[in-house]
A = this chain, B = another copy of it.
Amino acid sequence: MTEIVTFGEAMVRFAPPHFQRIEQARQFDIEIGGAELNTAVGLARLGRTAAWVSRLPDNALGRLVANRVCEAGVEPHVDFADDGRCGLYFLEFGAAPRASSILYDRKDSSIARVEPGAFDWPTIFQGAKWFHVTGITPALGENVAAATAEALAAARAAGLRTSMDLNYRSKLWSRETAGRTLAELLPGMDLLLASEPDADQLFGITGQDFAEVAERLVDRFGLTMVAGVRRQTPLVWRNTFGGIGYSVGHTFTTADYEVEIVDRLGAGDAFAAGVIHGILEGDFPRGLEIGAAMGALKHSIPGDLPWIAKDEVDELLKGQGLRIRR
């Protein structure tokens, strides 16, 4: 019985140390990551109980993923499968003027073979309050999109609030398929996390600023809240990060944080965790503030998972400075 349920893939991540290129590497550091898992971990770190539903191969790599999900405080609801493989991705850390880059090796993963009916959603959702998924999950295949639709329907039937992060991945599916599929999943979402480029590419929705785009998304899909990230990337090792949100005619903007970047993977997912946490406490603007703090702090932490303590978020929001804490 957990408050939050998320559904998606997690991959094993391989990154050569110290800015090496993959092709010159002799060692890889191993982390795990996946958008929905990252958000579940963020919510667990904020004190909530969270479960992550997925499908993994029944081998050492699948167990590696599941072990580390547990380590991060999230309950794994994993179907260990005899078919499919474990999704992998390879990360190169960059330095200006070379951007960081990712090489995915996730085809034919076990979760890409999931079928509707694979999970007993009503049982999983017992006692839960919120269901979160991203646009990556339905991108894994039509069957996975159908399973996502099934999960969303079950969530709503069980009275859960729902959210989606668009997260359009052009390597996984075309704009047309993505736009059509997501348009079917979005109606009724309590919270949509979206960027302006994604709104444009997927739905042809544009506007003069985030608020206008968000309003049109709300209108088109009957959403309650839309949240987005504001990021500037003057360098690879230093960005600014903040959040913005729109709901029923109001726009909310958070503080912008200057971030020194150890690892920027999962910042958006940590932001989502903060927003959901705040909304559950009853306040969307507060959620945006927590989300921006979570996302900003995530940049300082190696790996995709937001190993952040709740009191660190509180202190950042209170404006504690950068002197060493003893």
Contacts and interface: CB of A to CB of B under 8 A. Distances in A.
A96 B22 contact: no
A297 interface: yes
Interface in A82-134: 85-86, 88, 90, 92, 94-105, 107-108
A38 B256 CA distance: 38
B28 A96 contact: no
B29 A99 contact: no
Contacts of A302: 18-20, 24
A296 interface: yes
A100 B322 CA distance: 8
B19 A26 contact: no
Interface string A277-319: 0000000000000000100110111110001000010001000
B102 A324 contact: yes
A13 to B, nearest CB: 11
Contacts of A103: 59-61
Interface stretch (A47-55, A70-78, A155-163): A70-78
A67 B235 contact: no
Contacts of A104: 326
Given A60-B90, A107-B85, A236-B260, A97 B316 contact: yes
Q: Which residue of A101, A264, A265 has the most chain B CB atoms within 10 A of its CB atom?
A: A101
A265 B325 CA distance: 11
B307 A264 contact: no
A221 interface: no
Contact of A64 (B22, B86, B321): B22
A258 B97 contact: yes
Contacts of A183: none
A97 B296 contact: yes
B29 A321 contact: no
A28 B30 contact: yes
Central interface residue in A70, A169, A258, by most chain B CB within 10 Å: A70
A30 B19 contact: no
Contacts of A70: 70-71, 73
A14 interface: yes
Contacts of A64: 22-25
A171 interface: yes
Enumerate the 4 nearest inter-chain pairs by beta-carbon distance, A residue then B residue, closest first.
A71-B71, A22-B60, A95-B300, A101-B325
Given A24-B302, A27-B28, A233-B323, 9 more contacts: A19-B300, A23-B64, A25-B64, A59-B103, A88-B88, A95-B299, A98-B300, A99-B321, A265-B324
